[in-house]
Amino acid sequence: MAPIAVGAALPDGSLSYFDAEDNLQQVSIHSLAAGKKVILFGVPGAFTPTCSLKHVPGFIEKAGELKSKGVDEIICISVNDPFVMKAWAKTYPENKDVKFLADGSATYTHALGLELDLSEKGLGTRSRRFALLVEDLKVKAANVESGGEFTVSSADDIVKAL
């Protein structure tokens, strides 16, 4: 399947997270994105160096600017289980705006056409690094990285697309 691209409709899918009361929840991407301007960014793995030190912190730091430009939701997804995503989110105590959602079986990542086979490195199927700007379920910007690069999917790159 070809990767999602500008002009495409954002597919629906169900992702997991723990709510404030520590209850496991499922949420539909469409329920978060319909009628809104959202950023959906994906990372190969929680707690990995580039994801933890650059990609996620950039969106946390730029959240105020992104929201001032009309962004309603900032969503981070990774092919990890919701327990890992909860633990990873807790490493960013300053975060108030980025939602951490788990795509444990990579089902949604496959629907986006953004899966990355890292079996040779013992990591199985993961997500390519990407950032999508979506307005009312239509992709307005699709910044998808090649391999392990981090050159087009940063928060700064999305700010330029707004």
The catalytic residues are: 51
Exposure string (b/e) for 146-155, b if CB count within 10 Å is 16 or more? eeeeeebbbb
Question: For residue 46, which of 90, 111, 13, 108 has the smallest C-alpha distance?
Answer: 90
Q: DSSP string of 50-110?
A: HIIIIIHHHHHHTHHHHHHTT--EEEEEESS-HHHHHHHHTT-TT-SSEEEEE-TTSHHHH
